[in-house]
Amino acid sequence: MSETYDAVVVGAGISGTATAYHLKKFGMKRVLLIDREAGVAHGPTRESAAVVRMHYSEPVLVRMAMESRDMFKNMRVLLGKDGGFKEKGWFIALPPSMMEAAQRNIDMQRHLGLKTGFLSEREIADKAPWLNTDGVGGVIYEPESGYADPVQTTEAFHHAYADLGGESRFRTPCRSLVRSGDRIAGIVLDNGSISAGFTVNAAGPWSKYLAATAGLELQLRAVREQDAIWQVRPNRPMPECSFSTAIEAAYCRALGDRRFILGLGYPKPYHDVDPYNYKRTMDDDFRMVAFEKNVKRVPNLEGAKFLDAYASLYDITPDFYPFVGPRAGLAGYADYCGGSGHGFKIAPAIGKHLAQWIVDGRTGHEFAGLSYDRLAKGSLYGGLGGNRG
Ligand SMILES: Cc1cc2nc3c(=O)[nH]c(=O)nc-3n(C[C@H](O)[C@H](O)[C@H](O)COP(=O)(O)OP(=O)(O)OC[C@H]3O[C@@H](n4cnc5c(N)ncnc54)[C@H](O)[C@@H]3O)c2cc1C
**241-252 pLDDT tens trace:** 999 999 999 999
Question: Which pLDDT does position 239 carry in this prediction?
Answer: 94
pLDDT above 80 (res 288): yes
Residue nearest to atom 35 of ligand 1 (CA): 11
Question: Which pLDDT does position 79 carry in this prediction?
Answer: 98
What percent of the chain is predicted at pLDDT more than 70?
Answer: 98
* Residue-wise pLDDT tens digits, 17-46: 999 999 999 999 999 999 999 999 999 999
From 42, 45, 241, 251, mutation site for ligand 1 pocket: most ligand atoms within 8 A of C-beta: 45
* Residue-wise pLDDT tens digits, 325-345: 999 999 999 999 999 999 999
What's the CA-to-centroid distance between 80 and ligand 1, angstroms?
Answer: 23
Residue nearest to atom 18 of ligand 1 (CA): 343
What's the CA-to-centroid distance between 381 and ligand 1, angstroms?
Answer: 22
pLDDT above 90 (res 358): yes
Ligand 1 neighbours, Cβ below 6 Å, are 10-16, 34-37, 42-45, 47-51, 173-174, 202-206, 210, 225, 227, 312-314, 337, 339, 341-345
Residue nearest to atom 12 of ligand 1 (CA): 342
Read off the pLDDT of each residue in 367-374 and give the average, rounded to a whole number. 98
* Residue-wise pLDDT tens digits, 138-177: 999 999 999 999 999 999 999 999 999 999 999 999 999 9
Mean pLDDT of the residues in the chain:
96
Q: Which atom number of ligand 1 is nearest to the Cα of residue 51?
A: 8
Q: Which atom number of ligand 1 is nearest to the Cα of residue 345?
A: 11
Read off the pLDDT of each residue in 193-215 and give the average, rounded to a whole number. 98
From 35, 170, 201, mutation site for ligand 1 pocket: most ligand atoms within 8 A of C-beta: 35
What's the CA-to-centroid distance between 160 and ligand 1, angstroms?
Answer: 20
Question: Which pLDDT does position 383 carry in this prediction?
Answer: 59
Question: Which pLDDT does position 284 carry in this prediction?
Answer: 87
Residue nearest to atom 52 of ligand 1 (CA): 48
CA distances from 229 to 20, 47, 93, 254, 310 (A): 32, 12, 21, 10, 9
pLDDT above 80 (res 386): no
Residue nearest to atom 21 of ligand 1 (CA): 45
Q: What is the pTM of this model?
A: 0.98
Read off the pLDDT of each residue in 59-86 and give the average, rounded to a whole number. 98
For the chain, which domains are there? 3-50+151-220+319-388 (3.50.50.60), 90-143+225-314 (3.30.9.10)
Residues 6+ apart with CB under 8 A from 203: 10, 11, 16, 174, 209, 210, 337
What percent of the chain is predicted at pLDDT more than 90?
Answer: 96
Question: Which pLDDT does position 269 carry in this prediction?
Answer: 86
From 35, 42, 48, 189, mutation site for ligand 1 pocket: most ligand atoms within 8 A of C-beta: 48
From 161, 344, 350, mutation site for ligand 1 pocket: most ligand atoms within 8 A of C-beta: 344
What's the CA-to-centroid distance between 34 and ligand 1, angstroms?
Answer: 14
More confident residue, 176 or 269: 176
Q: Which atom number of ligand 1 is nearest to the Cα of residue 17?
A: 25
